[in-house]
Amino acid sequence: MHLENLITSLAPSAEGWLAQVQEHFAQLTAKSNFYPLRFAITHFEGGRAQLETTALKFAPGEPYTEGLREIEILEPKKLPPRAGPFVAVQIIPTGIGCEIGGFAGDAAPVTNLLAAASEYVITHPNAVNASDINHMEHNVLYVEGKLLDDFLLGHIALEPRRGNRVGTVVDPTGEAYLNIVLQTLNASLASAGIRSDIYIRPNGQLGARVAWSSSGCAIGTVDRPDLLVDAVNQLLESGCDAIGAVSVIHGVSRQAFVDHQLYGRPNPSGGVEAIITHLISKIFRVPSAHAPLPYYTEHKRDCPIDPRSAAEFISTPHYFSVLKGLSRAPRPLPIAGIDVFNDRYIFSSDVRAIILPASALGGIPALAAQFNEIPIIAVRENGTILAIDNRAMRFDNVIEVKSYAEAAGIILALRYGISLSSIRRPLEPAKELRVEGYTASLKVTKPRT
């Protein structure tokens, strides 16, 4: 198996962007052994959408590829409504330079704010991972991005749990940092009670590499995905419930690092980290997360530091946040065979709102929200390098707000059934419904004298 980064131009359609994306991938899979591991609409030009895809290509009969023919976006499932918990989903896309959440777990405070307004908030690791800090509230569910996509598309349910046994994949490229990784595993057991007692080194270097798309997004590739997959399989066969990975990210120049700190360019490692965990999620459907080994140690000495990155500069392995998150990550379960009215599980039909940066509405969460008729709360203050807002996408379920503080207020209104029009001014008066061919007579009774 190998990874390729692709760019495709899609024409608009009256059926909407979800239908266009589905048709495109259906055509590709009919011609080759192809799985779209990560994709999003990232640019518009001349009315056409640019779709960026990291694809996994494989040969017939290759190990671990049996499930790659199921492409979740082609068959989203709309689950029956239920009186379950009020769930919000917080999305901070990685690799696009988010003002909030594009650094080192700096979206944790806004995630916890949203959690205060909800029964559960589901978010993905990079929103709350801050190297050796992970401060998420008890009702925040830590779900890898690919699993979160599959959840929103109705293919899996989530079972909240605690006490996962976390296995670790250590890229042999980072052999010099092995001792500090082991000390992190031991410290998490001794001081946090986390079952993190097993690790594995693949039989060769993974070759995790940074790449940049034409739109300026941080993407990437892995030279030997087969080695990663085989190592994960060994850990799962040894009784692990969740998988953490640490690897050296190749190709991060000093200039890219400085541009991230000073000028808002996306975190260079974000895209390739997502590829690593998406691959684990697709093949094994278990919780996973990744931390980069300190590939930029030489840059730390004299580089200006954005306060949003400060957590990276007080950590060496950047890995404890992953262990804490994975130890309490919910278990993903296939929908087939699960009673959708069982209160043990959380389903996509429990999601009452999805919160996204206003300029990043081109990914699976936004497409799934439209399919499921879930409100999108689009936050303008969380700027990105993209311009995929609702003027471009033309969804009918977007509530645009200025800040996450306002988003939390919208969530409270949705949760308690308060009409959004009742808290805005001017207040629209009631209007008479006039139906052609229908008349109503109003009999007025005079009061007795």
Give Cβ neighbours of residue 60 (< 8 Å, ≥ 6 apart). Answer: 33
Report helix, strand or coil for 206: coil
Residue 340's pLDDT is what?
85
Residue 408's pLDDT is what?
98
DSSP code at position 97? -
* Cα separation, 65 vs 58, whole angstroms: 7
Q: pTM for the whole thing?
A: 0.94
Residue 298's pLDDT is what?
64
Report helix, strand or coil for 241: coil
17-60: pLDDT as tens digits: 999 999 999 998 888 899 999 999 999 998 899 999 999 999 98
222-254: pLDDT as tens digits: 999 999 999 999 999 999 999 999 999 998 888
Which amino acid would we find at residue 237?
E
Residue 445's pLDDT is what?
62
Residue 152's pLDDT is what?
98
All residue ranges of the chain with pLDDT < 50 are: none
* Cα separation, 243 vs 165, whole angstroms: 9
* Cα separation, 89 vs 341, whole angstroms: 20
Nearest CA to 393 out of 8, 13, 60 is that of 13
Residue 37's pLDDT is what?
95
**Residue 149 CA to chain centroid, in angstroms?**
7
* Cα separation, 210 vs 219, whole angstroms: 6
Residue 258's pLDDT is what?
82
Alpha helices in 161-224 (DSSP H): 178-192
* Cα separation, 44 vs 41, whole angstroms: 8
* Structural Rg of the chain based on CA atoms: 23
- Domain ranges for the chain: 2-73
Compute φ and ψ for 86, nearest 5 degrees. -80, 110
Evaluate whether 1 touches 67 at the Cβ level (below 8 Å): no
Residue 297's pLDDT is what?
61
For residue 288, the cross-strand partners are 243
Residue 278's pLDDT is what?
97
The pair of structure tokens assigned to 313 is: 């500069």
Which amino acid would we find at residue 292?
P
* Cα separation, 444 vs 449, whole angstroms: 15
